Structure 1
Amino acid sequence: MEVRSHCPINFTLEHFGDKWSFLIIRDLMFKGKRHYNEFLEAGEKVSTSVLGDRLKKLEEQGIISKSEDSVKKSRIRYSLTPKGIDLLPILLEMIIWGGEKDSLTESPKEFMEQAINHRENLLKEIREQLIKDHLADNN
């Protein structure tokens, strides 16, 4: 992948410079979604062409992987890779910022309280669960 510069912010934006990539990662990380149709059903209404493109790009960048679903063999199951799981602190900071600035936030008050006041413990808990749920798929 060619990047315009090696500024850390630019490098990150080259990987995730659009909202759809972050929303797919959000769905994998916090909402338990793992299949194409589940991503389509998100409230933001991504188009099928954009969703397919972003899933492909995230896989090419090593952020997600895909495998055969263990229940329905014809269905693809998406998982976060270690590189994808490493985005957890960034997404948590986005949740905190958005949750504090949006008076109509959908983020539960209890989650916001944990994220703000017990950030490190929350990160550790979520990371352990993501490793268990997503990396076991790739073994």
Structure 2
Amino acid sequence: MVAKIEHKTRTQCPVACALDIIGDHWTLLIVRDMMFFDVHEYKDMLESAEKISSSILSTRLRKLENDDIISAIPHPENGKRKLYYLTERGKGLVRVMIEIARWSDHNLPELIHIPQERRELLDAPLEDVTQIVFDKLEQWEKTYLS
């Protein structure tokens, strides 16, 4: 197997460097779940509809922590468990994630389903949706990080 060489040591292309961090299927789904579905625990991430394996989930969570996209705190009910949350760097992906969803809605309508309550959000202006997501994340942080 060939070792992975990150783009920052090769081309320094901004797209390529970003893809080193967020360019795999599972990473963006983990970010999606935290950002839009209020999923912050390992066990809940395993229950995602996409059925991520425990080994891949563990690896991706470590990588996301190392890349400062997420962080973790001990769970208040059980210190052996963790609660994961998006860092400022991770929250910076909100507009990207919304635009990916919008791109899929426009280009892949035969493959996707957006529930009505999500449809209204997706159809709202980008800054309105962004503010709603940031407000929700801030509320979670007030509950668990304060």
Report 1 or 2 for greater relative contact order, CA contacts < 8 Å, sequence distance ≥ 6. 1
Residue ranges of structure 2 left out of the alignment (5+ in a row):
none
Runs of 4+ aligned structure 1 residues displaced above 4 Å come to: none
How far is 1:59 from its partner?
Answer: 0.2
Once residues 76 and 115 of structure 1 are traced to their aligned partners in structure 2, the CA distance between those partners, rounded to angstroms, is: 30
Aligned to 1:10: 16
State the shift of 1:28 in Å: 0.4
Residue 109 to residue 103, structure 1, CA distance change in 2 (3 Å): farther
Query: Among residues 63, 68, 75, which one is paired with 1:57 in the alignment?
Result: 63
Q: 1:125 to 1:110 in 2, by over 3 A?
A: same
Percent identity (aligned): 32
Larger gyration radius, structure 1 or structure 2: 2
Say if 2:48 is the partner of 1:28: no
TM-score (norm 2): 0.84
Partner residue in 1 for 2:114: 107
The 1:87/1:136 distance shift into structure 2, 3 A limit, reads farther
Which ranges of structure 1 fall in alignment gaps of 5 or more residues? Answer: none
RMSD of aligned alpha carbons: 2.1
Q: Return 106-115 or 29-38, whichever deviates more.
A: 106-115
Q: 1:64 to 1:109 in 2, by over 3 A?
A: same
Alignment partners' CA distance in 1, 2:117 and 2:42: 29
What TM-score does the superposition give when structure 1 sets the normalisation length?
A: 0.88
Matched, 1:47 2:53: yes
In structure 2, the residue corresponding to 1:43 is in which secondary structure? coil
